[in-house]
């Protein structure tokens, strides 16, 4: 499974500050790959809408673009803070940890 994660926006946003990250679960330690796959499943990622509109006045919130390519399908979603679903938030938190920020 291949995951592409990009973070944009936030207070004092500077383009290029947040570099996208690509994760291939085949390159991760088994335990970490399994955790990521569980997070994707728990979030119902492949059933999420492609775009979740930001709340009113969300000018300084972070926006996340997540693309997941699995053997049988690909799906991309764009989310904006605050993320209400704790399972989706857990996935974003995990991926944020992989950005090195």
User: What pTM does this model have?
Assistant: 0.87
Of the chain, the percentage scoring pLDDT greater than 90 comes to 64
| Per-residue pLDDT at 38 exceeds 80 | yes
22 and 2 in contact (C-beta within 8 Å)?
yes
Q: How confident is the model at residue 52 (pLDDT cuts 50, 70, 90)?
A: confident
Strand boundaries in the chain, DSSP class E: 2-9, 21-24, 62-69, 74-80
Q: What is the pLDDT of residue 59?
A: 66
| 3-class SS shares of the chain: helix, strand, coil, % to 5 | 30, 30, 40
């Amino acid at each position: 499974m291949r995951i592409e994660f990009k973070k944009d926006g936030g207070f004092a946003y500077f383009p290029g500050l947040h570099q996208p990250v690509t994760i291939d679960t085949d390159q991760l330690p088994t335990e970490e790959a399994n955790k990521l796959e569980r997070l994707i499943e728990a979030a119902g990622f492949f059933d999420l809408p492609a775009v979740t509109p930001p709340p009113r006045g969300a000018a300084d919130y972070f926006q996340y673009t997540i693309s997941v390519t699995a053997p049988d399908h690909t799906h991309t979603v764009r989310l904006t803070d605050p993320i209400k679903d704790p399972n989706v938030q857990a996935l974003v938190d995990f991926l944020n940890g992989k950005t090195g920020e």
